[in-house]
Structure 1
Amino acid sequence: MKCKIEDIVEVTMGQSPKSQYYNSEGNGVPFLQGNRTFGFKRPTFDTYTTLVTKSAKAGDVIMSVRAPVGDLNITPVDMCLGRGVCSLRMKNGNQEFLYYMMKYYMPQLLNKESGTVFGSVNRNDISGLEVDIPEDTDEQRKIARYLTMIDDKIELNTAINNNLEQQAMALFKSWFIDYEPFDGQVPTTWKYGVLGDFVEIKRGGSPRPIQNFLSDSGVHWLKISDATGISSPFINEIKEYIIEAGLKKTVHLKSGSLVLSNSATPGLPKILDIDTCIHDGWLYFPSSKFSNEYLYLYFKHIRKNLIALGNGSVFTNLKTDILKNYPTYLPTEDVLKKFDGLVQLIFSMILSKTRETKRLSEIRDTLLPKLMSGELDVSDIDL
């Protein structure tokens, strides 16, 4: 069935209430603006309002309409729509299907994007979007259910990984912050110094102008945005590449290396599960008395302190010297070995789930256009 969005969907554009009605105490109605983190499949709320201007009902598809355009969620509760988001509700159809339909047609909608600095789409852009969908709501339900099962598994993997990382962090704090295995005191056999005494800290590099070296293939080029959009400690997907001519001006790291962001979103540690080049917005550690797992947890723990020590007129910058001069203890080799034996098992499980999630995402993204276009028939799928 060929139609326009306005024929099958009710579109409600958001409008933010005045700021004096906001609170973070959970009083009032959950409130979402377009510049807030949407989360995975379900939005997360940290702001509430006692004055509702525009509202969405539980089950509505929520879409950001500016900066950036096209983030999608399904709200689990009634909520207030702020500026920069809209809600979509099928007039007669399946809401889960609507979510995946919008993902499928998002490239066409983004072609309507306007704005000199921040892109945006308006009600007319959305309402006038032409789509071709199954008229049978049962077929819509089957398509949606097929894709939802994959997303549910991805969401479960994310929850498992978050729990595993919390366990690892709790263990780190127990041993190296509260010193619980050592009667609550730093053992006298541990060495006191600064991080630079125990870890070699270096900075990545960038060929310039970088636009002359970017390519559709070649060597992976790690950007800060590749790290900020994932919750896993591991990076196994990188969107951009540079040509080999740029290798002389950058740093090429192998899978298994630890990196730490030092600009834009500073103090964010990640472990590579893919070979890549890194620009000067990243720090790396060619040699260390600590394992990658220890350093990852250590950097997560001290991140707020590092940000406070950083400086920058627009973005906070984490200078190498700040990290090198950060005071720390070096536990004995046997203590570190015992700790690594525990946490490396946890990180191994996290890595396995992270890789599985990537495979599931690739399967979903391959199936989505085939299911939406009718290339793959779901009439015989029993769900």
Structure 2
Amino acid sequence: MSGWPTTTLGELIHVKHGFAFKGEYFADTGDKLVLKPGNFPVGGGIKLRPGKDGYYIGPYPPEFELAPGDMLVVMTDLTQAAPILGSPAIVPGAPIMLHNQRLGLVQIKPDANIDERFLYYSMLSESARSQIRATATGATVRHTAPERIYRVRIGFPDFPVQQVVGEILGAIDELIDNNRRRVQVLEEMARAIYREWFVRFRYPGHDAVPVVDSALGPIPEGWSVGTLDDIVSVSKASVDPARLDPDTPAVGLEHIPRQQLTLDDWGTAGTQGSRKAVFERGDVLFGKIRPYFHKVSVAPVDGICSTDAIVIRPNAAHWGQAVFTASSVEFVAHATQTSNGTKMPRADWKVLGKWPIPVPPAHISESFNDVARYHLSLSETLMFENRRLTALRDLLLPKLVTGQIDVSALDLNEVREKSVA
């Protein structure tokens, strides 16, 4: 490793098994989240999964309640390729998280001269995780154990070098996390404005407009009652992935992120499988299989996706209203109630398109379009920035934790000042 001495993780850490929480005490909601391997995305960290996370309402030993800053490592991966086996994560400040049995709590030994951030990125590196995969057991579900993790070898430079490496990579991840929080705030603000204007009818100038009766109840004078079909169309365009140019892969995705209008998780479409739906930038992608109706996103690019998503194309005049109507709690609940099928109930657009909506005058729609496009455009900008930052981190990480990039001459205070700037 570029002249660095090496050591085993067993010289530095102890890995503690989690608790076997009883299934009878699991709940869909609560304030204490039981972490599972599914909460650990490829690339490290912890990801909440609204609608899929399990909360615990029963008694448990207090030692299995995690503290912010604790480090975990995944010891079971449900897929054969095991992309997250051995992946580490740092526990965030909220919500309260519980240490489940398929995860290991990483505890640094008292005499280990190791920087925690450097340890985290060393364990996240492909070098470390490939060693864990190589010793894993199980044909389909892959398992590791503390004893196997202890045999993993990592580079072990002087402590000041560890600190600089940790600070550089940590600064990038902090920028990524900060951008994610900003996207969340922007989307929440836009949703709140939508509800004020189109649900409560408290739009600019509403005080001067009388209220009249309608099929939807009282609405402002000058508004009309329409349906979602009046402001959107559904694209049926599709493509056979086998006919795609293998040398120019198309932008594609199979799964829409949860409760996130800004679509930041896509890759390239493969040439295998069934026909793919074609979408354009600005289209609304609506997951049509229960329980994934809440998976609604606005496409930031042209591409193709699984036909398990409905491609909704808002007309320009009502673009913003269409986006936030399709992603509203009420519309998602309606899709759930009217879905058809037993094993995998599906939404029926012939029903969903008839969803009644209040249609405002043109000047109000135009004003809301300006608001919605501003918030979602800024969210997209942050999302694209995060993709660049993630690519930069993934490029630097293996080179920094193995000493291929020499940081020994860097001043730690200067690194901190630049990361703040």
1:270 aligns with 2:297: yes
Residue deviations 1:77-102 (CA, integer Å, cap 9, x gap): 79641122111122212222221111
TM norm structure 2: 0.76
Change (3 A) 1:22 1:272: closer
Partner of 1:37: 39
Letter in 2 for 1:222: L
TM-superposed CA distance for 1:152, in Å, is 0.8
TM-superposed CA distance for 1:312, in Å, is 4.1
Q: Which residue of the other structure, out of 154, 175, 183, is the alignment partner of 2:176?
A: 154
Moved more, 170-179 or 279-288: 279-288
Change (3 A) 1:22 1:275: closer
Change (3 A) 1:326 1:117: farther
1:190 aligns with 2:216: no
RMSD between aligned residues: 3.3
Helix, strand or coil at the partner of 2:89: strand
Letter in 2 for 1:86: G
Moved more, 327-336 or 32-41: 32-41
1:73 aligns with 2:77: no
Partner Cα distance (2:252, 2:20) in 1: 38
Partner of 1:329: 358
Aligned-pair identity in percent equals: 18
Letter in 2 for 1:32: V
Partner Cα distance (1:178, 1:318) in 2: 27
1:127 aligns with 2:150: yes
TM norm structure 1: 0.83
Partner Cα distance (1:171, 1:114) in 2: 52
1:202 aligns with 2:242: no
Helix, strand or coil at the partner of 1:349: helix
Partner Cα distance (2:98, 2:260) in 1: 30
Unaligned residue ranges in structure 1 (runs of 5+) = none
1:255 aligns with 2:285: no
Letter in 2 for 1:98: L
Helix, strand or coil at the partner of 1:263: coil
Change (3 A) 1:186 1:106: farther
Q: Which residue of the other structure, out of 7, 10, 17, is the alignment partner of 2:14?
A: 10
Asked if structure 2 preserves the Cα contact closer than 8 Å seen for 1:31 and 1:82, the reply is no
Partner Cα distance (1:205, 1:116) in 2: 36
Partner of 2:73: 63
Partner of 2:197: 175
Partner of 1:338: 367
Partner Cα distance (1:269, 1:347) in 2: 13
Helix, strand or coil at the partner of 1:200: strand
1:317 aligns with 2:346: yes
Change (3 A) 1:114 1:192: farther
Asked if structure 2 preserves the Cα contact closer than 8 Å seen for 1:267 and 1:299, the reply is no
Partner Cα distance (1:206, 1:310) in 2: 26
Asked if structure 1 preserves the Cα contact closer than 8 Å seen for 2:164 and 2:407, the reply is yes
Helix, strand or coil at the partner of 1:62: strand
TM-superposed CA distance for 1:173, in Å, is 0.2
1:285 aligns with 2:289: no
Letter in 2 for 1:4: T
TM-superposed CA distance for 1:269, in Å, is 1.8
Asked if structure 1 preserves the Cα contact closer than 8 Å seen for 2:231 and 2:318, the reply is no
Change (3 A) 1:319 1:277: same
Partner of 1:98: 119
Letter in 1 for 2:200: D
TM-superposed CA distance for 1:342, in Å, is 2.0
Change (3 A) 1:320 1:125: farther
Equivalent pairs, count: 372
Q: Residues 233-252 of structure 1 correspond to what in structure 2 (within 5 A)?
A: 233-243=261-271, 249-252=275-278
Partner of 2:103: 85
Residue deviations 1:183-230 (CA, integer Å, cap 9, x gap): 5741243332332233212356464xx799796852222211xx327x
Residue deviations 1:296-327 (CA, integer Å, cap 9, x gap): 22122122332333244344422222322222
TM-superposed CA distance for 1:149, in Å, is 0.7
Partner Cα distance (1:283, 1:31) in 2: 32
